[in-house]
Amino acid sequence: MDVQTSLLLVAAGVAGGIINALAGGATLITFPAMLAAGLPAVIANASNAVAISPGHLIAALADRGKLPPPTRRTISFVAVCTLGGAVGAGVLLLLPERLFVLPVPGLIAFATLLFACAPQIQRWTIGRHEAAALPSTGASGAVLGLACVYGGFFGAGLGVILTAVLSITEPNDIRAIKALKNLLATCVSLAATLIFIVQGAVRWPEASAMLLGAIIGGYAGGYLIRILPGHIVRQFVIAAGAVMTAIYAARYWF
């Protein structure tokens, strides 16, 4: 890896860390950066997952006071999400490269749309506080499991999906829903990254460079959140996602 590529990945990691701290949606910047660095799409996705994986864990620990107690239901959700993340990662690694690149523009577009609609989803979530939860743990687990298979396969927008799902399955205080979402996203991320590492799908020089940038960006974001309006960051991420969708659609579809 040359110096120029290293700087690109560190810069993308810094941008991703700041974006996650302020608004979320780092994958829309970091995954295309891995592709731009010349990594094959599957390796780029796996390496990106490793580079940004600490974010969910840090968020979960930051609000650990709101984490749910280890009830049977919570433990079953953790188990389902861990399994879902592992299955999604396994599907990604089993899929031929040529079949993965075909949906890449669609996946980026889907994640961009989710990110753009996140405020509306959050308002809807708040409105669900008094709704009845799904009566069956099995039904709740199935819905979460599907979301987490997607999370292990690609991951962009997983936080938004989990927030929406949990607002139905676990009507509760919005902060508690967010804390549970961070815990479950951590399980998905750790399971997927473990599969990627064991299977040798991670390019460590690129992943390490981006991870360094993400740590720096995360700390910087903690300060910038006081002075930089979140809506400006959101607009930048949405615009970047739209541009990346167009670029990769032109590359893989035409």
Please give the radius of gyration of the chain, using alpha carbons only, rounded to the nearest integer.
Answer: 17
Residue for token digits 């990110």? 115
Q: What is the average pLDDT score of the chain?
A: 83
Instruction: Classify residue 134 as exposed, middle or buried by CB count within 10 Å of its CB (0-12, 13-18, 19+).
Output: middle
Q: pLDDT tens digits, residue range 3-29?
A: 999 999 999 999 988 887 776 678 888
Q: Return the closest-CA partner of residue 189 out of 154, 142, 152.
A: 152
Please, what is the Cα angle at 28 between 38 and 10, to 5 degrees? 55
Pull the structure tokens for residue 249. 């659609």
Is the pTM higher than 0.85? Answer: no
Percent of the chain at pLDDT > 90 equals 32
All residues at 6 or more sequence positions from 29 whose CB lies less than 8 Å from its CB, including other chains? 12, 15, 16, 19, 237, 240
Beta strands, E only, the chain: none
Q: Return the closest-CA partner of residue 55 out of 8, 16, 111.
A: 16
Q: What is the pLDDT of residue 174?
A: 65
* DSSP designation for 233: H
Q: pLDDT tens digits, residue range 208-217?
A: 999 999 889 8
